[in-house]
Structure 1
């Protein structure tokens, strides 16, 4: 899962949204900011420390592209080394961050502590398996391979035409204050502080990416993922659904 945010030049981060996104995706955090001829990167497992550092560095470089990522681990150890973003093929002039679960070809081996995104960044994508990203075939090939996942690449390498690449942008959304988010988990609140259940403001499933604006409850009609407790089907454990048919909303959708 995870959450990824992108900031165009001149856009300041929403620190409350970053903290809420970090609470929902607690397995490590990181940022990247273009700073003239280099990219400044910070990572760590302490959300508050990384967010505060990001805010401070962004204040110094407010007019360049930037990204922030909070991780929900699916592959690889929970460690600072697996916090996004990752250098592209070891070249620190280009970094990438990703939201989703990548295809099996980049899943780490049993004895490999890296995450799938780290494997992709270090070993797979630098070979340009789909062609150069500045070509139509290269970009569309990569976006198709991502299969609904989202990815941001920042670079100061002069061989690229652009400084920032936002891949599968349409699977995320822009807010009124000009920030792009890969999903809605920045709206997450700890139990007891959330909006009342039944307020489902999701355009895309945060797990599979399915467009699902007419859902009847918290579960994605395509994959069953629960947007309230963030558990995959059939493992929803929402307290407010205790003693009920947890997946009645999916049956309602099928009958509609």
Structure 2
């Protein structure tokens, strides 16, 4: 299943929701945040550690696109190397994360321990099988291939028109606070409160003033 979360610039992460989504999708976690001239990423199997690290990074860069992913393994082994997001074609300027089960084209063969999403990022999508994703043909081709799956791409590659893309966005869920979720599994076991391992919630100070006063 997995759960993929996307944040527009200025949107505050809901750490309770991330923790709840991680409970339901426990097989690895990761994030990406666009910084000034690079994309900062992190991965791990301990949800508390990864969420805490994400909170700290997001506090430093609250006005850029960001994503968070928790995995429920379907293909590939459980390990940090199969935690989303993945660099596309090894290019550190572009990362993607995905929710769902991809077509057989990218499912691992016997002996390949990679996940289907990792194979798509490393081998399949860099060939632009659908054309440029900024084009209508490329975007619609990818979304048709994804079927009911969802994908988020963040990039600093100047060949892209934008820094953030959600594919099959309409199949996801927008919360009242402006966060996009690929599904509602974060609501299943929502924790009452998130306590940062490094003390008080780092986001409290970072996001004060966003009300516009």
- The C-alpha deviation readout for 1:62-110, integer Å capped at 9, x for no partner, is 0000000000000000000000000000001000000000000100111
- The C-alpha deviation readout for 1:162-187, integer Å capped at 9, x for no partner, is 00000000000111100000000001
Secondary structure of 2:33's partner? strand
Counterpart-to-counterpart distance in 1, 2:189 and 2:139:
35
Counterpart-to-counterpart distance in 2, 1:78 and 1:110:
16
Q: What corresponds to 1:189 in structure 2?
A: 189
Q: What corresponds to 2:63 in structure 1?
A: 63
User: 1:189 deviation in Å?
Assistant: 1.6
Counterpart-to-counterpart distance in 2, 1:150 and 1:127:
20
User: 1:141 deviation in Å?
Assistant: 0.2
Give TM-score, length-normalised by structure 1.
Answer: 0.74
Q: What corresponds to 1:17 in structure 2?
A: 17
Q: What corresponds to 1:134 in structure 2?
A: 134
Q: What corresponds to 1:74 in structure 2?
A: 74
Structure 2: give runs of 5+ residues left out of the alignment.
192-213
Counterpart-to-counterpart distance in 1, 2:110 and 2:36:
39
Counterpart-to-counterpart distance in 2, 1:13 and 1:119:
29
Counterpart-to-counterpart distance in 1, 2:151 and 2:61:
22
Aligned length: 192
Counterpart-to-counterpart distance in 1, 2:37 and 2:167:
23
Secondary structure of 1:37's partner? coil
Q: How does 1:46-125 map to 2 (within 5 A)?
A: 46-125=46-125
4+ runs deviating over 3 angstroms: none
Secondary structure of 2:122's partner? helix
Give TM-score, length-normalised by structure 2.
Answer: 0.89
Secondary structure of 1:140's partner? helix
Q: What corresponds to 2:148 in structure 1?
A: 148
Q: How does 1:138-177 map to 2 (within 5 A)?
A: 138-177=138-177
Greater RCO structure (CA 8 Å; 6+ sep): 2
Highest Rg: 1 or 2?
A: 1
Secondary structure of 2:17's partner? helix
Secondary structure of 1:67's partner? strand
Q: CA RMSD in A?
A: 1.2
User: 1:37 deviation in Å?
Assistant: 1.4
